[in-house]
């Protein structure tokens, strides 16, 4: 085995890891999480300073229409077992949504709130000022109309130019044949102020999500827009100054970002690491083109979110009225859930790519589907079910790869028996590398030795490792679920803090087990310098994965332990080693 080629290969692997894991957007600024207030529940203790709602980057609609101040708006609440929706008379939009089955943290005292502290409501209307050409949000008064029901509400109001707007929202009914429980139907109808007069084009807002603690770099805080085939992503980094890499790629922060596509968008979403809000208009109302404008939302100092404003050119009716109807999903990005949504909305999972273009999406989906199926079978295990599902998935993957890995380990142990002949060849031809390589290849061919035997099991695990690393970053199914000493499988298993530095046990166990596994794997072709490189790799892995979800480091630790067991069980090959010098004497 050529030492230079091996070192080059190891260097490529190390570089791949460095680019994949470490080249991430820099966090905007550290900030303490804002307190979360739960609708209809006992309020949390008041903070030392009053929480100020985020300032809007949109302006109020001009005109003579009556505008409603934010603190004077009337709230109308509709609930199901899944979500509690607070509608507002200010623009006839959604003020915020409480997800009744999703806790905000491990204390489980509060629920997740969508659009918490948002300056504008979700599905709020915006119109373009004909003079400034700027989008301006509608803050005029909307009042309920028609009979009240437990799941639906109709709000009626006017735009500044007199256009009459009828907005109807219908929550999903409970039942086995009910639609997606985290979705609601919306319908916005615009009627001209005067006969024969047209109606203005309107935009809908997606609402905003608070950044999560686990996504310090805001990697998953983004707006996505899809035409059903191509996906466009806008991250928070667009609205942040960047000095680039040694000045290369430096840019100034934008105040807004327009998103265009050759076809009308099938859906537009705003989301964070674990949750998403998706506007999905019906295919019949999308028209020929659509527009999306992405704007940042300022929360507390140094803490921001994103919202999208989306518009579709819906067909105009004979009476010049227009309607925009569709579904609005607000909930967790569970694979089994979003994969059932139409038009490829499963893309909200945001599977990252190696080097920015090598996708592991197919592997991620397969692994998540397997994990979900295993969890279904182990659901009887209670609160530790997801932890046991990871254990079972690890064993399942090891069983699948066992035959190939076993064959390679046997080949590696066979190669180990020829360690002395290979050493003799290297010593004899140390001044003639070309002759040395020819003699080594001759030895490999005569005894059917695979020089890559020690590396192949690691290479087999690489796609699975990358897939799990990518998938576990946004796997909301693991969120807040405990296992053993782990309080949250979607976060690092921090046991305590040393000053401000967290002590995470699993990455350390992963590194130790990986080091021992490499020690047990025969690699007679490696000299001392190569062994040092492998040792450095075992030290690098725990550093790379130190802040990773506990689910990943749990998988890697178990995988290393199973590999050690397999190496121990693999029997030594029964081969006779004939030194090259002895063979020459026999032939002569």
Tell me the DSSP string of 147-187: ---SSEEEEEEE-TT--EEEEEEEEPPPSTT---TTEEEEE
Distance, first Cα to last Cα, the chain: 28
Single out the residue in 334, 350, 366 at which a domain terminates: 350
Residue 189 to residue 324: CA distance in whole angstroms:
6
Q: How high is the pLDDT of residue 19?
A: 43
> Strand pairing of 501-504 and 152-158?
unpaired
523 in the same domain as 389:
yes
Same domain, 557 and 500: yes
Quick one: DSSP state of residue 440?
Answer: H
Q: What is the spatial distance between Cα 292 and Cα 203, in angstroms, rounded to a whole number?
A: 8
Same domain, 405 and 317: no
| 348 neighbors 271 (Cβ within 8 angstroms) | yes
Predicted pLDDT at 568: 82
Does residue 522 contact residue 413 with C-beta atoms inside 8 Å?
Answer: yes
Number of folded domains that form the chain: 2
Residue 17 lies in a domain: no
Q: For residue 185, what are the contacts with CB-CB under 8 A and spacing of at least 6? A: 168, 169, 170, 325, 326, 327, 328
Burial of 419 (0-12, 13-18, 19+ CB in 10 A): middle
For residue 36, the SS3 value is coil
Is 581 a domain residue? no
- Residue 237 has what pLDDT? 87
**Alpha carbon distance 477, 445 (integer Å):** 50
- Strands 183-191 and 322-332 come out as antiparallel
**Is 351 in contact with 471 (CB distance < 8 Å)?**
yes
- Judgement on whether residues 291 and 435 belong to the same structural domain of the protein: no
447 within 8 A of 305, measured Cβ to Cβ: no
380 in Cβ contact with 482 (< 8 Å): no
Considering the domain boundaries, does residue 38 fall inside one? no
Q: What is the predicted pLDDT for the residue at 557? A: 93
Q: Are residues 69 and 166 in the same domain?
A: yes
What is the maximal distance between C-alpha atoms in the chain? Answer: 110
Domain-located, residue 410 = yes
Residue 557, domain member (yes or no): yes
d(CA 554, CA 513): 11
Per-residue tokens: 207? 């609402």
Q: Quick one: 242 and 326 in the same domain? A: yes
Domain boundary residue, one of 335, 350, 365:
350
- Quick check: is 221 in a domain? yes
Pair (335, 409) in one structural domain: no
**Residue 578: its pLDDT value, please?**
53
Domain holding 509, by residue range, is 376-569
Q: Could you tell me if 154 and 233 lie in one domain?
A: yes
**Element containing residue 416 per DSSP (H, E):** helix 385-417
**CA angle (389, 392, 396) in 5-degree steps:** 135
What is the helix, strand, coil percentage profile of the chain, to 5?
Answer: 35, 25, 40
Same domain, 294 and 402: no
Using alpha carbons only, what angle is made at residue 118 by residues 115 and 119, rounded to the nearest 5 degrees? 150
Q: What is the pLDDT of residue 437?
A: 79
Q: Are residues 282 and 417 in the same domain?
A: no
Q: Across the strands, what pairs with 186? A: 169, 326
| 30 in a structural domain | no
Q: Looking at the structure, do residues 341 and 393 belong to the same domain, yes or no?
A: no
Q: What single-letter DSSP state applies at residue 468?
A: H
| CA 413 centroid distance within chain | 41
pLDDT computed for residue 383 by the predictor: 84
The tens-digit pLDDT sequence of the chain (588 residues) is 445 444 444 554 555 444 444 444 333 333 333 333 333 333 333 333 333 344 445 554 544 478 889 889 999 999 999 999 999 999 999 999 999 999 988 888 899 999 988 879 999 999 998 888 889 999 999 999 987 788 899 999 999 889 999 999 999 876 656 678 999 999 999 999 888 888 999 999 999 999 888 787 788 899 999 998 889 999 988 888 877 666 676 778 888 899 888 889 999 999 999 999 999 999 999 988 899 999 999 887 778 899 999 999 989 899 899 999 999 999 999 998 999 999 999 999 887 666 555 677 788 888 888 999 999 999 888 889 999 999 999 999 888 888 777 777 676 666 666 666 777 777 777 777 788 878 778 777 776 666 665 555 566 677 888 888 888 888 899 999 999 999 999 989 999 888 889 899 999 999 898 888 877 766 555 555 556 766 777 778 788 888 889 999 999 999 989 988 888 887 665 545 455 554 444 444
Are 118 and 96 in contact by the 8 Å Cβ rule? The answer is yes
Q: Kindly state whether residues 172 and 267 are assigned to the same domain.
A: yes
Tell me which of 350, 366, 387 is where a domain ends: 350
* Helix ranges restricted to H, 18-125: none
CATH of the domain at 152: 2.70.98.90
* 448 domain residue, yes or no: yes
CA distances from 543 to 17, 259, 285, 498, 506 (A): 11, 37, 51, 17, 11
């Amino acid at each position: 085995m050529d030492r230079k080629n091996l070192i080059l290969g190891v260097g490529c692997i190390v570089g791949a890891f460095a680019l994949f894991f470490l080249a991430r957007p820099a966090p905007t600024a550290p900030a303490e999480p804002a307190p979360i207030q739960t609708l209809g529940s006992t309020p949390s203790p008041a903070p030392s300073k009053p929480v100020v709602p985020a300032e809007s980057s949109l302006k109020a609609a001009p005109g003579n229409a009556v505008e409603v101040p934010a603190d004077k708006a009337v709230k109308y609440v509709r609930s199901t077992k899944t979500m509690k929706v607070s509608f507002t008379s200010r623009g006839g939009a959604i003020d915020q949504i409480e997800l009744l089955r999703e806790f905000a943290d491990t204390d489980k005292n509060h629920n997740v709130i969508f659009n918490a502290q948002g300056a504008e409501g979700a599905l709020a209307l915006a119109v373009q000022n004909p003079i400034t050409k700027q989008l301006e949000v509608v803050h005029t008064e909307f009042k309920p109309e028609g009979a009240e029901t437990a799941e639906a509400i109709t709000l009626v109001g006017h735009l500044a130019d007199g256009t009459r707007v009828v907005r109807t929202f219908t929550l999903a009914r409970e039942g086995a044949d009910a639609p997606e429980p985290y979705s609601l139907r919306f319908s916005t109808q615009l009627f001209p102020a005067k006969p024969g007069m047209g109606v203005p084009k309107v935009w809908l807002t997606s609402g905003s999500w608070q950044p999560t603690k686990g996504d310090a770099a805001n990697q998953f805080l983004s707006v996505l827009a899809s035409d059903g085939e191509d996906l466009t992503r806008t991250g928070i980094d667009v609205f942040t100054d960047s000095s680039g890499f040694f000045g290369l790629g430096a840019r100034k922060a934008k105040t807004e970002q327009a998103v265009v596509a050759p076809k009308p968008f099938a859906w537009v979403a705003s989301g964070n690491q674990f949750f998403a809000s998706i506007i999905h208009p019906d295919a019949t109302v999308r028209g020929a083109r659509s527009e999306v404008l992405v704007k940042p939302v300022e929360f507390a100092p140094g803490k921001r979110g994103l919202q999208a404003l989306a518009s579709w050119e819906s067909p105009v009716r004979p009476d010049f009225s227009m309607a925009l109807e569709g579904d609005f999903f607000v909930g967790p990005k569970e694979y089994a859930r979003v994969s059932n949504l139409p038009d490829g909305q499963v893309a909200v999972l945001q599977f990252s790519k190696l080097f920015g273009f090598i996708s592991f999406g197919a592997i991620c989906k397969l692994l998540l589907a397997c994990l979900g199926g295993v969890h279904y079978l182990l659901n009887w295990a209670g609160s530790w079910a997801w932890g046991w599902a990871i254990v079972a998935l690890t064993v399942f993957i090891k069983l699948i790869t066992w035959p190939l890995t076993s064959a390679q380990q046997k080949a590696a142990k066979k190669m180990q028996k020829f360690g002395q002949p290979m050493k003799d060849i290297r010593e004899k031809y140390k001044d003639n590398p070309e002759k040395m390589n020819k003699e080594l290849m001759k030895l490999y061919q005569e005894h059917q030795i695979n020089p890559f035997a020690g590396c192949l099991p690691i290479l087999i695990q690489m796609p699975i490792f990358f897939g799990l690393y990518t998938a576990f970053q946004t796997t909301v199914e693991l969120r807040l679920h405990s296992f053993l000493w782990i309080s949250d499988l979607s976060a690092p298993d921090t046991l305590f803090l040393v000053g401000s530095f967290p002590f995470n046990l699993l990455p350390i166990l992963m590194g130790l087990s990986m080091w021992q596994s490499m020690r047990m794997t025969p690699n007679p072709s490696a000299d001392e310098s190569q062994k040092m490189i492998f040792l450095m790799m075992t030290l690098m892995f725990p550093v790379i994965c130190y802040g990773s979800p506990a689910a990943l480091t749990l998988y890697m630790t178990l995988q290393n332990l199973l590999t050690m067991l397999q190496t121990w069980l693999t029997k030594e090959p029964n081969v006779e080693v004939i030194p090259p010098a002895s063979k020459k004497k026999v032939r002569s």
